[in-house]
């Protein structure tokens, strides 16, 4: 189960679709307010997002799986892992990327309260938006609404009283302008299971680089049994719908 950055669409993980073994499905969350769900109001709290994701995962065939979250997706992934544990259906591993652990809560000034211009400047600076798109109001407006909602959910999230027993793999880039890299190893405080920490280069969105995607995928799943991606699912999923490769 893959969970992209704030405002992210399933296509954020398209590089992963090409590097995973053919017998592994990449299920990517598509939250309200973007993509095929652009007409739905965005959610601004983590709990209802996780509730819907957990409900959908629990309805699927109980196969081994891992949860991968990038940036805001790490917050969702952590809480989703805890929710699935409570259902008796935990993932085999949780990979958290480019987000400090919940022992460092969001503090003011909050990014979700920035003006549109300030938020666009920030997104452009960290590589989250192409400068050529800034003048495309038809594209930027909906994207900013989804990003702002996800940022609010992330910045209002507070560390739960209990962590997880699922092993955690913490991932980050040494040149990430958003996350203090030395904090990533403190994700070890959130699990009573095994813990590993890997670092890369490539800025805040390093995880979507094909080479880094392949390196991380190799840590999470067995070696490929053969070439070729898994074809897309022809049926949309209920709840927090997911994009398939």
Query: Could you report the per-residue pLDDT of 180-215, keeping only the tens digit for each?
Result: 999 999 999 999 999 999 999 999 999 999 999 999
The interaxial angle of helices 46-59 and 72-86, nearest 10 deg, is: 50
Evaluate if residue 33 carries a pLDDT over 80.
yes
50-65 mean pLDDT: 96
49-69 mean pLDDT: 96
3-state secondary structure (DSSP) of residue 120: helix
Number of neighbouring beta carbons within 10 Å of residue 181: 15
DSSP state of 22: T
**95 or 138, greater pLDDT:** 95
Tell me the backbone φ, ψ of residue 50, rounded to 5 degrees.
Answer: -65, -40
Q: How far apart are CA 131 and CA 123, in angstroms?
A: 9
CB 239 within 8 Å of CB 56: yes
Query: What is the pLDDT, as a whole number, of residue 242?
Result: 44
Tell me the backbone φ, ψ of residue 59, rounded to 5 degrees.
Answer: -85, -10
Tokens for 59? 């309805």
Condensed to tens digits (0 to 9), the pLDDT of residues 102-134 reads 999 888 789 999 998 899 999 999 999 888 777
Question: What are the residues whose beta carbons fall under 8 Å from the beta carbon of 63, sequence distance 6 or more?
Answer: none
Q: What is the CA radius of gyration of the chain?
A: 17
Tell me the backbone φ, ψ of residue 73, rounded to 5 degrees.
Answer: -60, -25
Condensed to tens digits (0 to 9), the pLDDT of residues 213-226 reads 999 999 998 654 44
Which residues are tagged catalytic? Answer: 71, 204
Give 54's pLDDT tier (boundaries 50, 70, 90): very high
């Amino acid at each position: 189960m893959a969970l992209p950055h704030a405002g992210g669409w399933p296509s954020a993980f398209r590089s992963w679709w090409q590097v995973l073994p053919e017998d592994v499905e990449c299920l990517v969350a598509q939250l309200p307010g973007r993509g095929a769900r652009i007409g739905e109001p965005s959610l601004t709290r983590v709990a209802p997002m996780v509730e819907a994701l957990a409900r959908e995962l629990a309805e699927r065939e109980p196969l081994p799986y891992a949860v991968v979250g990038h940036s805001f997706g790490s917050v969702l992934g952590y809480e989703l892992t805890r929710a699935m544990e409570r259902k008796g259906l935990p993932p085999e591993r949780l990979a958290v990327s480019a987000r400090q652990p919940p022992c460092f809560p969001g503090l003011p000034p909050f990014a979700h309260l920035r003006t549109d211009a300030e938020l666009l400047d920030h997104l452009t600076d960290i590589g989250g938006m192409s400068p050529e798109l800034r003048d495309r109001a038809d594209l930027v407006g909906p994207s900013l609404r989804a990003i702002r909602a996800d940022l609010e959910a992330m910045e209002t999230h507070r560390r739960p009283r209990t962590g997880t027993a699922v092993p955690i793999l913490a991932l980050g880039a040494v040149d990430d302008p958003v996350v203090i890299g030395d904090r990533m190893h403190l994700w070890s405080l959130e699990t009573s299971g095994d813990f590993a920490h890997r670092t890369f280069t490539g800025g805040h969105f390093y995880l979507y680089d094909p080479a880094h995607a392949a390196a991380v995928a190799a840590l999470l799943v067995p070696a490929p049994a053969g070439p070729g991606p898994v074809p897309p699912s022809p049926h949309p999923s209920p709840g927090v719908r997911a994009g398939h490769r």
